A = this chain, B = another copy of it.
Amino acid sequence: MKIELENVKPRDIERRSFEIITEELGDRKLDPDKELIIKRCIHTSADFEYADSLCFSDNVVAKAMDAIRQGACIVTDTQMGRSGVNKRALARYGGEVYCFMSDEDVAATAKANGTTRATASMDKAAQLDKPLIFAIGNAPTALVRLYELIEEGKLNPALIIGVPVGFVNVVQSKELIMKADVPYIVARGRKGGSNIAACICNALLYMIDDRRD
């Protein structure tokens, strides 16, 4: 078999990728507000299931973009997720990305309380006195704790990106967060990941940049 590489210039690779995604989605109509988020998740994963699995609360994209413009910070549940967010783009609006998973006090609290570090890191994040976007790509226990904090009136996030991946309580934690009174973007089912969490943050950032031009 002869392997033929497609001749695409470096700066055109992403554009060409989105063209292919659009072609393969075919007649499928996506809500224009959500289209770039859905396509970027497919771009990040090569998995077209995201066209069906992504769930959005009412008007969430406009709300999320407003929060970013007003300097919202992003909290992740993995260093990978933190690493994947475009921090330079976020900083233009005054935001930063936090991940408390490796903090010694978080490890100690988790051990003392018999919880996951993800749970303890959400409690730490809830102390921040800033508008917050949570980008949860790994730990369903983080999502469950966010639900509890919201129900207890201790947290009022600007957005929860609920896309943990896996097999234990992942499906349930996502259904739970969609019952909370909070703006959300959730990938229903088992799939997701820190890469998906970061890519949804970046999609929102790039949408703001596009509209600014």
Within 8 A of B (CB), among A111-145: 114-116, 141, 144
Evaluate contact between B46 and A169: CB separation under 8 angstroms: no
Q: A interface, how many residues as a size bin?
A: 35 or more
Bound-complex Cα distance A43 to B190 (A): 10
Evaluate contact between A168 and B20: CB separation under 8 angstroms: yes
Question: What's the minimum C-beta distance from A30 to chain B, rounded to whole angstroms?
Answer: 17
- Of the A-B pairs whose beta carbons lie under 8 Å apart in the complex, a sample of 5, sorted by A's number, is A1-B175, A6-B169, A10-B110, A43-B166, A43-B167
Evaluate contact between B194 and A80: CB separation under 8 angstroms: yes
Within 8 A of B (CB), among A12-29: 13, 16-17, 20-21
Question: What's the minimum C-beta distance from A148 to chain B, rounded to whole angstroms?
Answer: 11
Evaluate contact between A5 and B193: CB separation under 8 angstroms: no
Residue A156 lies at the interface, judged by CB distance under 8 Å to chain B: no
Residue A37 lies at the interface, judged by CB distance under 8 Å to chain B: no
**Chain B residues in 8 Å Cβ range of A10:** 110, 114-116, 141
Question: What's the minimum C-beta distance from A185 to chain B, rounded to whole angstroms?
Answer: 18
**Chain B residues in 8 Å Cβ range of A192:** 46
Evaluate contact between A5 and B172: CB separation under 8 angstroms: yes
Evaluate contact between A175 and B17: CB separation under 8 angstroms: no
Q: A80-B83, A195-B80 are in contact. Are A165 and B3 (CB under 8 A)?
A: no
Evaluate contact between A167 and B17: CB separation under 8 angstroms: yes
Bound-complex Cα distance A54 to B27 (A): 32
